[in-house]
Structure 1
């Protein structure tokens, strides 16, 4: 659809112009409308439009359009978010908003070279632990631009990746056997069965935060002494949702000890009594609940574990660790008890054995220091 019109120029001479709709931009999905002027004759304007239409049909139109990095990122995200979980998509958006777009967003993507990318990567390296992941996300946007004919090469692929030396590696933090016992002694003083059951599973089964909050009573097999982990509670745009576990290996069934099972039985009875007293129903059969909602029982806040740890640390003066560190504590004490790396990996649901190995190395270093002290004490000179 096009309109042709003759108009008068400033110098008094006449020329032709046209306005035309070419179609939908295959990259951003927006309609393409164009206006061209300064043709001597109507026939010349018609020929120019015909060339534009041919270029558009052949995919040549707009190849050199000056898209900013942020514009291409929005196009990429629209497609990419359909291939990942909502929580992953939300985390990716945060990475771009906080780290990538402040450095690259306003730049024309065609003008971004390896030097600019190297400066960005160096900046992420200084400030962010997951700098390699951030670089990977940015690189995916450049690859998307290549696939859609916006640029010819990916400048991020030629970046030299900085590396942290051994002293910069993140320290693996967990409780020792004695500290864990002290931790549970403090919990018992609280006379809080919910808190005791929550941290007992965290420390004695090594579950993640979302896995703990998603647990239902049907996940516990009291006869076979097992717990099945097959779901994960996540918060996506301020709404709770149940998803499949983090990775395929996170979907697992593991054994539970007698004491943990006994605590869970006591908590189940106490929970039923409390909900009956409040006039609430546990329709989702959740093990851990937040019963302060106006309409019924809600999912347990994902901050319950960290808030409780802070409370216990402040009240009793025990060393403060993160909830995830209890998972590492479980792994470290398994190693001290003689468990094999592969067995620990499967119990914790690690997809990468290097994650398990990092805890093993931390335990090995502690053992090595103890051995040295034991030797010196034995020889006694």
Structure 2
């Protein structure tokens, strides 16, 4: 079949389709091909693999995102998506295959929805560029784990935040067993709700002791053996929050200790502008807070949470203090209010139970 002029070579091009059982099947296929040609779909797209289209999409998309986001996306594709889709011709990928792969990924990780979102960007790009005519990932569902379907006592074990008594126990341990720097670091994580990258990127000019506030405008990122300070891109990310008197007092004490250490170190005469560093003045590793948290939890059999759970812990404290959902969302810079709502639901369930217990004790008096 004559498919017209190749815009790249200026020559006429043809294509051949074989393997039809009947003349009618061949006629239907020919009509479909003519329709594709008329709508501007190039014949060469037939051989494009998912990996080919991913490369096209990512070349453009990577210019609009931060380096840390770029690395995170590349990691997801290299680990979960490209091994399953990469070598397949994108026009031959079916919805059934997509569902099978999503089910398979869900068995190994809990963040399967994020994997689906990333893969879907490639299919949407292919759709926009007329490489495919429909998105096979559309309407593919995320399987729910069995434990999500069972509402039993095990749900309490999945709580990724600490209650007030657990916070008090943890900070008592860090004060007694860790360095003063690490104690202040964990206190700040809990009482600001900031991300660890934001805390580790703090400089002293980010803290206004007179106004009692702290400004988050950047985050620490480690790439190829080098520390990079990335500035926040959005208005919401660049936020100013108030500090309580206890947190301010601890920061002042830490600043004094740091200055005293600098004065005793002739090799660091310029002084340290960063709030948290190693002894030689270089930034702390991003994995350092995670490692310290895991050690304390394991040694003292504390309720297990992740380093991100400290942000949830801060949110729970705010909700218990009467803060609104909108106030908590702004303070923690949640781009999706559903994240705030999930914490709110969990915390309010706990508060309701406490109210029932208080009422019961009152009645029994």
Shared topology, TM-score over 0.5?
Answer: yes
Equivalent in the alignment of 1:332: 316
Q: Which of the numbers 202, 225, 238 marks the counterpart of 1:215?
A: 202
Q: Larger Rg: 1 or 2?
A: 1
The residue number in structure 2 matching 1:368 is: 352
Post-superposition CA distance 1:243-268 (Å, at most 9, x none): 13375423211111122111111111
CA deviations on 1:162-207 (whole Å, 9 max, x unpaired) are 4565548894421111111111211221372211221121111111
Regions of 4+ moved over 6 Å: 58-61
Q: Tell me if 1:345 matches 2:329.
A: yes
CA distance in 1, matches of 2:291, 2:77: 29
Give the match's secondary structure for 2:131.
coil
Structure with greater proportional strand content: 1
* In 2, Cα distance between equivalents of 1:191 and 1:74: 47
Distance in 2 separating the partners of 1:191 and 1:116:
51
Question: Structure 1, residues 118-140: CA drift from partner, whole Å, max 9, x if none?
Answer: 21222233333222222222222
1:302: which partner in 2?
286
The equivalent residue for 1:105 is 86
Match of 1:16 in 2: none
Q: How does 1:38-77 map to 2 (within 5 A)?
A: 50-52=11-13, 62-77=43-58
Cα distance between partner residues in 2 of 1:261 and 1:305: 21
d(CA) in 2 for partners of 1:347, 1:321: 21
Tell me by how many angstroms 1:146 deviates.
3.2
Matched, 1:290 2:278: yes
- SS of corresponding position for 1:233: strand
Q: How many residues align?
A: 329
1:225 to 208, 212, 222: 212
SS at structure 1 position matched to 2:268 = coil
Quick check: 1:190 aligned with 2:138? no
Alignment root-mean-square deviation, CA: 2.9
Shift of 1:325: 1.6
Distance in 2 (CA, whole Å) between partners of 1:174 and 1:50 is: 66
| Partner deviation per Cα, 1:9-60 (whole Å, 9 max, x = no partner) | xxxxxxxxxxxxx997xxxxxxx9xxxxxxxxxxxxxxxx83259xxxx987
Distance change in 2, residues 1:147/1:340 (3 Å): closer
1:119 corresponds, among 88, 100, 109, to: 100
Query: Is 1:235 matched up with 2:237?
Result: no
TM-score (norm 1): 0.77
Aligned to 1:37: none
Residues 75 and 281 from structure 1, CA distance in 2 versus in 1: closer, same or farther, beyond 3 angstroms? farther
Hey, what's the Cα distance between the residues in 2 that align with 1:361 and 1:282? Answer: 49
Once residues 87 and 179 of structure 1 are traced to their aligned partners in structure 2, the CA distance between those partners, rounded to angstroms, is: 33
> Quick check: 1:309–1:320 contact (8 Å CA) kept in 2?
no
| Most deviating of 206-215 and 276-285 | 276-285
Q: Deviations over 1:139-166 (max 9, x none)?
A: 2212323344433322222434545655
* Structure-2 separation of matches of 1:85 and 1:269: 35
